[in-house]
Structure 1
Amino acid sequence: MEIESLDMAMIERDYQYIRDCVNNKRYDDLHEKNAHYLSPCRKGNGRAYSLKLSYMNEIFSKYIDKGIPLYKPIIKNPEELRRASLEEIVIELFSRHKNKTIKEIRRSIMKPKEFKKWESKTKIDKAEFARTTMAMLGVDADQAEEFVKSNICVKTLRVEKNLKMNEDISFSAFEFSDLSRETWKKSFAYEEMVNRKFLWSVFVHDGDDYKFRGATFWSLPEEDEPVIKRGWEDIRNIVRKGVKFAIDVKTIKGKPRVLNSFPDSNNTNQNRKEYKLCKSTKPRNKIISIRPHAQHAYYDLKTIGYKDTEYSPSNGSILPNGDVMTKQCFWFNNEYILEQIKKQVEL
């Protein structure tokens, strides 16, 4: 199977990045997340070239689908990658739309008839912000080929007038049995939150509308890795030693609210009811937390004699002591991400 010319141009850029790091003895700068398709992976005490897993997965998927691409590319001509990097090309495309509303962006990139149809049918909801992010890059889909192959996570964020962000950033649901056995560098949290690059597309509530303020590539600063690792270890240790539960009289959709001892802003605050009912033994981490990631709540808590098994068991995950609680996932806390964004995007 031949490597396509666009992919080869990206691989050549990765090779130049790896070579420059080695020639200039910048060994600490060699990270898989900074490469796109060709990775400087670790091998024993040294390094070796390898094609990234995200790239190979996409190639195999395309092969299985008989050569039909699953995603559309941003870059159409390999010569573009000889004059600029993927990041530079992407930021250049975004810069054309700075300080425009979604309607203004759509009007500028669509033909008049297409825009009229879009305007009459489209509800500007959270999903439309994400679609508009990709449309600014010339991609009429939820993802771009280069981002999938490079394992770049694209998130569209909305900042309110008070410069607060309501949305936190979630990742894949996990099984407690996996988390309890993981080591840090092999964990889902490390792979999804640390060992990859992110692209933030930022809209800010300005007047009666949201305006696009810009986009930036970001990866977790090295100095923050010990902080996120400590939060992950605290959560893993709570799972191993036993999660505590309590039932609150406050109801949600007619059902009691189930509290747990995973640290959050409520059960680590002495002034909150949740602290008194189900205090966490660990401090709240400034970067990560875990929260439910299932379509429906599911509990079978033998330790406190409580059940909510109305929906499919697939909504739950088994804890080491046999209790079952709603499936969870890791989240970036929104205050932390907003703090990071303010360093790179003028809000």
Structure 2
Amino acid sequence: MSSVYNSKEKVHKRALEAIGKTLGEIDVKRTLNINNKSYPGNVIEQIWFDHPADNNADPDFPEAGVELKVTPIDIQTKKINKKKITKIIAGERLVLNKINYQNEFGKSFEQSSFWHKNKLIELIQYYRRDVADKKKISSGEMIEDKTKFRVSYANLLTMTELKEFDLPKDTVIKIPEKDLEIIKQDWNKISELINSSKAHQISEGITNYLGACTKSTTSAVFTKQKNTTVPAKPRAYSFKAKFINELINNHIIGKDHTDAIVSIVKDVSELKSKTLEEIILSRFKPYYGMNQNELIQKLGIRIGKSQPQKNINNMIIRGILNLPTTTDEVTSEEIEKADISLKTVALRNGQPKEHFKFMGIPSFINLVNESWEESSVNDFLERKKFLLLVFNDLNKKKKDGKSYEANREKIIFKGATFWNMPISDLDGTVRNIWETEVNKMKNGVELTFSKNDKDEIKVKNNFIKPSLEAILHLRPDAKVAQYKSQYYKNVVDNGIPKKKLMNNARKLPSPAKWINRPENEKENFTDDYMTKQAWWLSKDYIYEQIKGML
């Protein structure tokens, strides 16, 4: 059946006419299920464009060669340098077409389903919510009315040259050549695993701008791949949320949301022979083996007398990458778009100093209501790419035997490496530990009360202890332990009596099982609260990832 939207101009003109309308104004008769997760997209596709839902390999409007995508944008307010900055962000990754491992086998980029279906996208974005309201909505405190979501932008997102296009050019986003080269590199990484019958090893963390996100909320669903009996998770091509963020702020709103953001890759031709990762690592290699003082001098960095150690390392990293020194955050165009997390790994005489914290737990109750497939931990570790920067501290202990010297000439930059968690670790050990610890929370965590010789109170829990094998573990996320709800403590600050809010505990989903707790301590060590926790990766596991550069 031929569509009335048989040219890119007709598709785009219709999309532009939707701007300013709410989904409720389009779905006037309430013909679609508002509780369906896909309600916004269904309203635009099925009602506004009168296009039936389908799973065709062709673009939604094949005669026009245009794929239709509908995606949310949110408002986020952050404090940056003590100022409140409000910006528009992508509400989620932009999910594209499902990957058929058997059909994609042996295809070139130009032959791929990704290119065929997505080289020209009508991107319609609707305003959804303020990010601050998300917790209230997920907890049921606030009910979200999807009919009030309002269409804010409509743009043609193109990876090819548009010729003879008669509509406003300011509503066309041409993906820059540099970005397209990185997208091709990402596609190649996914393709290489498909072609070597290793699609089960694909994760979002292996790529930069173009991802391969999971398409099933249950681990029971798998799909076949060629030349192997090993099944793989169903996945779809997707543009990462931070990549879409940059499109929104630079091309749609026309304002860069990051002050003085710069690029690491200055010349697109460099991407013709090297991957983005190889280019970034090449910037660090000339500095391998240098100590902090040598790096500071070489890079012309000004260090204050009381500059914290962590800040010095950040300043060195920014100096190496030739990034602005006006912020503590290490960021660039490529790091932003790829959502790469830079993490300094501090060694003490070649051995890891500390465990690797990656996520706090705002609510134990929300945690136990998550399934593994939709959990924050699984989502984060599946999609996250880290740039690990290793410094080896050779300083010896001071005479007091408690603290270490801080001679910068003995702190050596050993190198940099990219790392993302292998799917085998994530779906194996990490999942098993996560499920074990969450079940302990559900059934009542075991807490053991004790006092030492100095009459100091110690509370131990029955969570798994960190080791090389136990990759994931729970550890406290507060300096001061607390086992009751928030309260005000009387303190003296500069000789002035004050009340300090103690909010270091979180409510437990089930009463704790106390061992050896005295009756007179029940008020301070309650059944219903425990010190807030965070998820950590063990330092021994992280050491395994970087020991090759030592």
1:144 to 309, 320, 331: 331
Alignment-mate amino acid for residue 322 of structure 2: G
Q: Which has the larger radius of gyration?
A: 2
Q: Secondary structure at the match of 1:325?
A: strand
Q: Secondary structure at the match of 2:294?
A: helix
Q: Distance in 1 between matches of 2:250 and 2:506?
A: 33
- Hey, what does 1:263 align to over in structure 2? 464
Structure 1: gaps spanning 5 or more residues: 266-282, 302-306
Residues 197 and 261 of structure 1: CA distance in aligned 2, closer, same or farther (over 3 Å): same
Q: Distance in 1 between matches of 2:541 and 2:195?
A: 35
Superposed CA deviations along residues 190-211 of structure 1, whole A, max 9, x for unmatched, are 2233442222111112465111
Superposed CA deviations along residues 254-277 of structure 1, whole A, max 9, x for unmatched, are 973333222336xxxxxxxxxxxx
1:166 to 2:350 alignment? no
1:236 to 422, 433, 438: 438
Alignment-mate amino acid for residue 255 of structure 2: G
Q: Secondary structure at the match of 1:96?
A: helix
1:248 to 2:435 alignment? no
Q: Secondary structure at the match of 2:484?
A: strand
Residues 294 and 138 of structure 1: CA distance in aligned 2, closer, same or farther (over 3 Å): same
Q: Is the 8 A contact 1:263 1:284 kept in 2?
A: no
1:300 to 462, 469, 484: 484
1:287 to 2:489 alignment? no
- Hey, what does 2:187 align to over in structure 1? 15
Q: Secondary structure at the match of 1:185?
A: coil
- Hey, what does 2:542 align to over in structure 1? 337
Q: Is the 8 A contact 2:317 2:330 kept in 1?
A: no
- Hey, what does 2:293 align to over in structure 1? 103
- Hey, what does 1:203 align to over in structure 2? 391
CA shift for structure 1 position 313: 6.6
Q: Secondary structure at the match of 1:299?
A: coil
1:128 to 296, 301, 312: 312
RMSD: 3.2
Superposed CA deviations along residues 209-232 of structure 1, whole A, max 9, x for unmatched, are 111111111222344331121111
2:374 to 166, 186, 190: 186
Superposed CA deviations along residues 20-64 of structure 1, whole A, max 9, x for unmatched, are 444555433432211111122344655432211232345446679
Residues 328 and 148 of structure 1: CA distance in aligned 2, closer, same or farther (over 3 Å): farther
Q: Secondary structure at the match of 1:99?
A: coil
Residues 55 and 297 of structure 1: CA distance in aligned 2, closer, same or farther (over 3 Å): farther
1:318 to 2:522 alignment? no
Q: Distance in 2 between matches of 1:184 and 1:176?
A: 15
Alignment-mate amino acid for residue 249 of structure 1: K
1:86 to 2:276 alignment? yes
Q: Is the 8 A contact 2:203 2:382 kept in 1?
A: no
CA shift for structure 1 position 233: 1.3
Superposed CA deviations along residues 73-102 of structure 1, whole A, max 9, x for unmatched, are 322333332231111011111101010012
Q: Distance in 2 between matches of 1:186 and 1:134?
A: 35
Alignment-mate amino acid for residue 445 of structure 2: V
Q: Secondary structure at the match of 2:549?
A: coil
Alignment-mate amino acid for residue 165 of structure 1: P
Bigger helix fraction: 1
Q: Secondary structure at the match of 2:534?
A: strand
Q: Secondary structure at the match of 1:331?
A: strand
Q: Secondary structure at the match of 1:186?
A: coil
**Number of equivalenced pairs:** 315
Structure 2: gaps spanning 5 or more residues: 1-154, 156-172, 217-222, 224-233, 396-406, 490-499, 512-527
Q: Is the 8 A contact 1:299 1:309 kept in 2?
A: no
Q: TM-score if structure 2 supplies the norm length?
A: 0.51
Residues 325 and 148 of structure 1: CA distance in aligned 2, closer, same or farther (over 3 Å): farther
Greater relative CO, 1 or 2 (CA 8 Å, sep 6+): 1
Q: Distance in 2 between matches of 1:60 and 1:75?
A: 21
Q: After superposition, where does 1:21-32 map in structure 2 within 5 Å?
A: 21-22=193-194, 25-32=197-204
Percent identity of equivalent pairs: 27
